[in-house]
Structure 1
Amino acid sequence: MLLTAPLLSKSTFFGSLVNKCRPAAIANFSVSTNVTTSARTLEEKLGLPPRPKKPLTPYFRYMQEQRPKILAENPKFSTTDIVRVLSKRWSNADAALKKRLQDDYKREQQEFVEIRAKYEAKMTDEQRAELKQLKQDVQDAKDRRMMRKRIKELGRPKKPASAFLRFLIQERTNSPQTPKQTYREWHQKCTEKWSRLADKEKEVFLIESRKDMEVYKKEIALWEEKMVRLGNIDVVRHGNLIDPPEPKPKIIKPIA
């Protein structure tokens, strides 16, 4: 059986991952799920119903029930204040209350296990493969963001602007974008102007770019040597390492 839901517009999918998703085939889906609708899950981004959500633990259920009361009593409380009060009240809470919440949690947990089993049973092998690939894509994107942040914190020299980018910067002053122009239109106009420039005119930008690139190469070499000495091998370009790490295995998608 096939899991389906109303297909989502590709324009709403984040970043470049949209083109990697294929819509699921149409079929009925009737499993009741305990999910939130505040944010779309990975399943929803693939056009599938959202995965069943785990029930709240007794402590978090208590926080959910008591938070409005504390806010009503203390409207100026910050989130930190609320959590501090809730934590103290929970430690002093009546045993009968804790037992009720624990019993509710056990019952909801059992229901969750059953609903999840029905949900997963309706997924096709293709849907599982797509979901696995999407999870990997999301993790890879997260890893890249973390790496960029780490490299910035470690003070990696910034690569200089190319000749064309220097030309664009100049055009922002000489021929700025008009209110009636989109950035794409302005950029296209600059690209066409660049292609029409004589080699002698381009050479001005090329010389500046080459000069800065030579400085950058020296700076990045010194920085990478320092990173190796400090043990930060992961931020060094693999081509500069004697024993580079093994590349991550690529997941081959099944042919549709």
Structure 2
Amino acid sequence: MAPFCLMSVGSVLVKSLGLFSTASAVRCACIVPTLKHFSTTVGGPPKRPLTAYMHYVKAQQPDVVKQNPDIKIVDIVRKIAQQWRTLTPEQKRPFEEASLASKEQYKLDMQKYQAQLSPAQTAAMAEERRQKMAKRKAIRKKRELSHLGKPKRPRTPFNIFMAEHFEEARGTTMQGKLKSLLEDYSDLLASQKQVYVQLAEDDKVRYKNEIKAWEEHMVEMGREDLIRRKEKTRKKAAASKGKKKARVTVLRAKAPAKKTAAKKNTAAQPTTISTATKPKK
């Protein structure tokens, strides 16, 4: 059986293509030429400043490598990290001061760098920064949901078919295997596909039950922010509908009183006019 991450490749590809709208394509097409021009006319942005720990690593790595020439780089970093933990605040202070100095220099270099950018390049940098932040946020949220035990989403019929036949699929690369699996699945008879359709329906029931229990547990933990957006939208729509209904009821109750007052004013006007126009004897 293929790993679970491979089971959802088909649905992920379809969703990705569906989410990549025309507007997104136009925006990316506008940004790419700007970035190319940006990289050729102006040098790259200044490197981010090193932390106090990284200054320590940079200073200690040559000595550790010299003392341990046969160990791997991972073990070298582990040794330096252990040494850093044993340092006193006084011993760490020189590296912290070096980090502060590099931060100040980074600010100056960044100001000079941004001053020579065109508006298009500044917009491209802002868009690139926004995309990076969104990607990091999505990764952090995915890790958090995995840590909290959020149920896996239901699989599609093709996902289940791919999981069962991935090992014997034709092709030497991932793309080749996926292509051959898609061809094999499309060649199945309707009765053969119905087996995987039924399994997918059963998986939907499993997910529905598990996600309901999980969301109830999240509410108990005070994490209502992790509940599905559709459920939140439905509750908000119901609440706003109730408010709107109550408002209409109040307006209907007040309407007759306005009509009565209007009738009284209409009835009073002819009396005034007749008195004013009555001829003298």
Q: TM-score when scaled to structure 1?
A: 0.60
Structure 2 spans left out of the alignment, 5+ residues: 1-19, 238-281
- Given residue 80 of structure 1, which amino acid in structure 2 is its aligned partner? A
Partner of 1:223: 214
Give yes or no for contact 1:66–1:86 (8 Å, CA) kept in 2: no
Partner of 1:200: 191
2:141 corresponds to which of 147, 167, 179: 147
Task: Quote the offset at 1:141 in angstroms.
Answer: 0.9
Task: Quote the offset at 1:189 in angstroms.
Answer: 2.0
Partner of 2:114: 120
Looking at secondary structure, tell me which structure has more helix per residue.
2
Structure 1 spans left out of the alignment, 5+ residues: 1-15, 28-42, 245-256
Task: Quote the offset at 1:146 in angstroms.
Answer: 1.1
Residue deviations 1:107-150, cap 9 Å, x none?
x7776555433311111111111111111111111111111111
Mapped partners of 1:223, 1:61: distance in 2: 41
Give yes or no for contact 2:154–2:207 (8 Å, CA) kept in 1: yes
Residue deviations 1:22-43, cap 9 Å, x none?
133887xxxxxxxxxxxxxxx8
- Given residue 79 of structure 1, which amino acid in structure 2 is its aligned partner? I
Mapped partners of 2:120, 2:106: distance in 1: 24
**How many correspondences in the alignment?**
200
The question of 1:190 aligning with 2:200 is answered no
The question of 1:163 aligning with 2:146 is answered no
Mapped partners of 1:118, 1:210: distance in 2: 59
Partner of 1:80: 81
Identity fraction in percent: 19
Alignment of 1:6-85 (within 5 A): 20=28, 21-24=31-34, 49-53=43-47, 63=56, 67=60, 71=64, 75=68, 78-83=79-84
Give yes or no for contact 1:67–1:82 (8 Å, CA) kept in 2: no
Mapped partners of 2:60, 2:132: distance in 1: 33
Mapped partners of 1:190, 1:132: distance in 2: 41
Query: Kindly tell me: are residues 122 and 160 of structure 1, through their superposed partners in 2, closer, same or farther at Cα, counting changes over 3 Å?
Result: same
Bigger-Rg structure (1/2):
2
Residue deviations 1:198-217, cap 9 Å, x none?
21111011111111211221
Task: Quote the offset at 1:74 in angstroms.
Answer: 6.1
Give yes or no for contact 2:157–2:196 (8 Å, CA) kept in 1: yes
Mapped partners of 2:105, 2:166: distance in 1: 60
Query: Kindly tell me: are residues 217 and 124 of structure 1, through their superposed partners in 2, closer, same or farther at Cα, counting changes over 3 Å?
Result: same
- Given residue 186 of structure 1, which amino acid in structure 2 is its aligned partner? K
Query: Kindly tell me: are residues 217 and 170 of structure 1, through their superposed partners in 2, closer, same or farther at Cα, counting changes over 3 Å?
Result: same
